[in-house]
Amino acid sequence: MRLEVLHIPDCPNTAVLTERLDQLIVARSDVVIEHRAIHDQTEAAARGMTGSPTLLVDGVDPFAVAGLAPSVSCRLYLDDHGAASGAPTVAQLRAALAGPGR
């Protein structure tokens, strides 16, 4: 499985997302995580980043929201109680990594 973390430089939520992912893949040799800094709107559109950080799992954003435009701004994720956070929860990430075909 290939995980790609798209982020703007110095995004504080990139570290939060990475830490949570590391917890989930600690014993998995089949997972590769790549980080890619996105510097402008054109690059965000080309890569499919709808805010920083954006996680792609095998090239697909499991947290995609229909109609959300590409962006180099901060991205917010809603937890199961509707609270906003700068990264998906561990439970949300676990579900995304166990998604269809995985």
For 45-59, write each residue's pLDDT tens digit. Answer: 999 999 999 999 999
Q: pTM above 0.85? A: yes
The pLDDT assigned to 100 comes to 67
CA separation for the pair 83, 10 (Å, rounded): 23
User: Please, is 61 exposed, middle or buried when counting C-beta atoms within 10 Å of its C-beta (0-12, 13-18, 19+)?
Assistant: middle
* All structural domains of the chain: 2-97 (3.40.30)
